Structures are given as C-alpha cells and as structure tokens.
Amino acid sequence: MLEITLKRQNRVLTVYLKGELDHHAVSKVKETIDLQLVKMPLSQLILDMSAVSFMDSSGIGLIVGRYNKMKCLGGSMKIKNPGLNILKVLKMSGLSKLMEIS
Amino acid sequence: MLEITLKRQNRVLTVYLKGELDHHAVSKVKETIDLQLVKMPLSQLILDMSAVSFMDSSGIGLIVGRYNKMKCLGGSMKIKNPGLNILKVLKMSGLSKLMEIS
Amino acid sequence: MQPINRMKIEFESKSVNESFARIVAAAFASQLDPTIEELADLKTAVSEAVTNAIIHGYEQQEGLIFMECILYEDSITVKITDHGVGIEDIEKARIPAFTSKPELERSGMGFSIMESFMDSLFIASEKGAGTKITMTKKFSKR
Amino acid sequence: MQPINRMKIEFESKSVNESFARIVAAAFASQLDPTIEELADLKTAVSEAVTNAIIHGYEQQEGLIFMECILYEDSITVKITDHGVGIEDIEKARIPAFTSKPELERSGMGFSIMESFMDSLFIASEKGAGTKITMTKKFSKR
Ligand SMILES: Nc1ncnc2c1ncn2[C@@H]1O[C@H](COP(=O)(O)OP(=O)(O)O)[C@@H](O)[C@H]1O
Ligand SMILES: Nc1ncnc2c1ncn2[C@@H]1O[C@H](COP(=O)(O)OP(=O)(O)O)[C@@H](O)[C@H]1O
C-alpha cells in the first residue's frame, strides 16, 4: 500500500510518497495530486520520494503527466530524495534531463 | 540461511541459532551439535532461539532428538529466548512439559 | 462466497523451496491485511504441508509440488498437492506424534500444527497416487 | 547448462498482483544470493512485464498471467506470458517512449527498462493470441 501525505505552503505543494509506486498505486496518487491542482493555483509541485522503496515505468508516466500539467499551469516540478534504485529508473527514462532531481 | 554459533563453557554448550529453522535447515544444525556431543562430555545443552524467526515441526524433531541424546549421556537440555511464534509451536508440541524454556 | 483473487504455483520437491513456498503464500495472503500472528500461523502450516510432500510424498526424490491459494473477503484457502506415494491410513496419520519416519527425527506433529494453526484441514490421499491438503484460515476483521 | 531449480505460477490479471509477482520472482531468485541491486533490477523488469500483460495484453479485463522462473548456477530466466491481444509490430513496441496507450499516461519505457535492467530480452507475440516475454539476468559471483 502506498501512503500519500500532502503539505502545502503558499503556492508550493509537497507530496510525500511512502511505499511502492507501481501501476496499481499510481491512480490514487494521480487523483490526489490532480485534485489539488484544480483547488488552488500552484507555482511548484515537489515530489518527495525518500520513502519510495520501488518504482517502475508506471511511476515515470505519473511524473511526466504531472510535469506536463504543471507546465501548462505555468508552474514547475521537482523531485526530491529518490533512493538509488529509484534514481536508476529516473535516469534511464531521461527524467533527470526534464526536471530538477535533488 | 540459518547461522549457527557455538559457545562452550566447561561442560555447558550453548548453541545460538539465527534465521529460519525448517526441514531444510535442520540437518546442518543436527550435524553441528552431534559432532560436539561426541567431542567432549557435556552436562547441559542450551539452545538460544532469540534470533530464530521461524520454526515448524522439523525444529521440534530436532529438539526432541537432541534432548534424547543428552538424556542418554546423563545430561540435560534447555531452550532460551524463543520468540512468541516459536513459543507457540513449542507449547503446542508439548515440549514445554519436557524441558525448561526460559 | 466469491473468491476475490487466486493463484496456482508448481515447484520442485527440493527442501530449499520450503521457505519459498511460505513466502509465496504469505505474500498473497497479505493482500487481506492479516495480523502478524495470522501470517506466521499460515506460514507454519504451509511449511508443514510442503515439507511432508518432500519427505513423505516424494521420499526426498524428484517430484512436483502444486500449491493453489484462493482469497476470499476475509479468509484464504490453500491447497497443496503432490503426486507421491500417498497415505494409506489417514486417521492414523493425523494422530499427534505419529510419524512413519522416526529415523529422520520427524516429530509427527505436522498435521496437528496444520489443524491447530488453521481453521480447517482436509486431507485427501490415495496410496500410490498422491496427497492433497486443503486448509483454510480466517483473518480477523480490522 | 542444467537448471538447478524452477517454478511456474499463474495468477489473475489484477493490478494488486503486480507486487505479488515481483515478490515471487525475487524470493525465488534470492536462492542464488544476488546483490540488493540485482534483485531490485529483477523486480523492476518483472513488474514491467506483468503490468504490460494487465494493461495491454488483457486491456484491464480478466485474464490469466503465467510466470515461469528457471534458476541456473549464476542466472535466472523469467518467462511471462499472457493470452491477450498480442503485439502487432514488435520492433515499434520496443522503441523507447513508444506507447499505444498515452491516454493512460504510459511512458513507453517498459521494454527499455526490461532491456537495460536484464541481460537479455526476447519478445514473442502474435496478434490475437498473446505475448511471451523471456528475460535473463546474470548474477555476479560473490
Ligand atoms: N504428503 C504426504 N505423502 C505421504 N504421506 C504423508 C504425507 N503427509 C503426511 N504423511 C504421512 O502422515 C504422517 C504424519 O504426518 P505429520 O503429522 O506431518 O508428521 P511427520 O511429518 O513429522 O511425520 C507422516 O509420518 C507420513 O506417514
Ligand atoms: N503484453 C502485451 N500485450 C500487448 N501489447 C503489449 C504488451 N506489452 C507491450 N505491448 C505493446 O508495446 C508497447 C510498448 O510497451 P512498453 O515499452 O512497456 O511501454 P508502455 O507499457 O508504457 O506502453 C505498449 O504500449 C503496447 O502497445
């Protein structure tokens, strides 16, 4: 089970994910974030992945989808604290060229 | 994989087991202990199970077998620190009536 | 009741697969969010049945073991089958501490553990054809 | 080379079984004592193939997914099969970032990940009959 925690500060939304980010888990994350995007204007979306133990290309699809939405809304997105195995998937998918990963 | 560590003090042998004690693991433990039993006379065999995460009835067979050997040799046997799930198997098999469990 | 999920696995009768079978059953059952104790009970019962198939069913020779797990709303049914020697007298086999292999230091407690750790246990067996164990465990609603 | 162990599993095409399939493959592979990274790579590749069977093969409808794992001295071969819609153009499907389901926010990186995380990847597929993925990963000697 993937746990989602949201923290909003001014126009920055930080989403903390905990657990395994696969196709099964993705739809709930997508819904949760997209609901926030329509609620209030955001300038930045931060995905904190420090507690994500697994991610496959379904996670890439989720991230690219949110990245595109943020761009449409004139905002930006960044990824924080991915573990080594998550970073491997992010890099291999070219996401590290699209957005800041720290 | 089950790890076996031996500590001998005078005529008392303490066997520390770490891992899962099932049929697959039992033969190595049996060999290791029985080799000690023929090496030097023992008055007591102590099985420390604090690091045993799983045990089924193959473990019961192992313990009863060593208990009988110790009795034949005029010694005794006791079990130390079993976790809750291990204790459940020990009790259900009546071993708690045969020897000291602490 | 309708099953909500099911799986079938077959693996070789090697003792190294005893822990594998336990992990598989527990991983599948964890979809129902059982307690740690319930999961430990299930693992122990599966280990007993798989070990029996290896030691008694196939007498430590090559053979295939089949495990089927069916999840319901609040319970799991596990079927473990071998095509080994079979059990001649099932009543006798169920007696606590009865074992046909005392020379292997078997305790004869396998069926007693399956019975007490699960909520039901059925044994179907035919001499020369094999054995099928069907066990069900209910998980507490949380 | 002779296989040292093998198993076959079938399970329903439900997304909840994606993590189950990963655990099963990893638990079996762990008999070879792989590194944590090697195990993570294997899990990711299995997850990709199983997810594809669910989303593309069976288009999120009911169906059965088959996984076979064969262990050799220092490698594992995993075969994942569905009897779903099949792939019309395998060459095109393998192109990085190609996806036939952009509306589901698929990234099209599944095959690329399988290819880069495993040591070999074969795709056999027939339109209307299904798809079989065969992947092998070598584990470092330790
Ligand atoms: N799969 C099987 N195939 C053949 N015989 C079996 C099988 N399972 C159990 N038995 C028989 O039933 C007896 C009791 O089994 P069990 O209670 O598990 O004790 P144990 O395995 O310690 O002997 C075994 O000794 C064996 O004779
Ligand atoms: N099991 C399958 N059955 C049918 N089509 C498949 C299957 N696996 C992959 N495909 C096809 O190959 C394409 C590329 O797959 P992949 O690289 O995993 O990316 P994605 O899953 O993100 O679309 C899919 O979009 C789909 O058209």
Identify the bridge partners of residue C78 per DSSP, sorted by sequence position.
Answer: C69, C135
Chain A 11-50, residues with CB within 8 Å of chain D CB atoms: 20, 22-24, 26, 30
Q: List subunits contacting chain C, requiring 3 or more Cβ pairs under 8 Å.
A: B, D
Q: How many CB atoms lie under 10 A from the CB of residue B43?
A: 13
pLDDT digits over D2-45, tens only?
A: 999 999 999 999 999 999 999 999 999 999 999 999 999 999 99
D2 interfaces chain C, CB cutoff of 8 Å: no
What is the C-alpha separation between C125 and D25, in angstroms, rounded?
31
- d(CA A63, ligand 1 centre) in Å: 54
Q: Is the CB of C87 under 6 A from ligand 1?
A: yes
What is the C-alpha separation between C107 and B94, in angstroms, rounded?
11
Residues of chain D in contact with residue C10, where contact means CB-CB under 8 angstroms, are 7-9
Domains and CATH numbers, chain A: 3-101 (3.30.750.24)
Closest ligand by atom to D115 CA: 2
ipTM of the complex: 0.94
Q: How many CB atoms lie under 10 A from the CB of residue A4?
A: 15
Which DSSP symbol is given to D58?
Answer: S
B1 interfaces chain C, CB cutoff of 8 Å: no
- pLDDT at position A1, please? 81
Residues of chain B in contact with residue C51, where contact means CB-CB under 8 angstroms, are 22-23, 56-58
Mutational test site, ligand 1, from C15, C64, C81, C87, max ligand atoms within 8 Å of CB: C87
* Residues of C annotated as part of the active site: 48, 52, 106
pLDDT in tens, chain B (102 residues): 899 999 999 999 999 999 999 999 999 999 999 999 998 889 999 999 999 999 999 999 999 999 999 999 999 999 999 999 999 999 999 998 899 999
Domains and CATH numbers, chain D: 5-138 (3.30.565.10)
Q: Whose CA is nearest to atom 20 of ligand 2?
A: D108
Nearest to A57 by CA among C41, D112, B9, C98: D112
Tell me the percentage of chain A whose pLDDT exceeds 90.
Answer: 93
